Amino acid sequence: MLDEIACRCEATGCERQLDDGNCQLVFRTEGGERRAYECACGHVTVTVAAPSKG
């Protein structure tokens, strides 16, 4: 399984790589774990990860 999910800023023309250092918020819903990343450009990108077993 993948421990880390590579993601990129969704802002048009930005596409900076986002990592844990950019992660400002983590919360869980029925759909899994969601993480909000704030890019240096100011855009916030939200990712969804499937819930891990265990």
Residues interacting with Zn ion, by CB under 5 A?
9, 11, 14, 16, 39, 41, 43
How near is the Cβ of 27 to Zn ion at its closest, in Å?
A: 21
Q: Of 5 and 50, which CB lies nearer to Zn ion in the complex structure? A: 5
Smallest gap, in angstroms, from Cβ of residue 37 to Zn ion?
9
Provide CB contacts within 8 A for 33, sequence distance 6+: 26, 27, 48, 49, 51, 52
Q: Please state the closest distance from residue 9 (CB atom) to Zn ion, in A.
A: 3
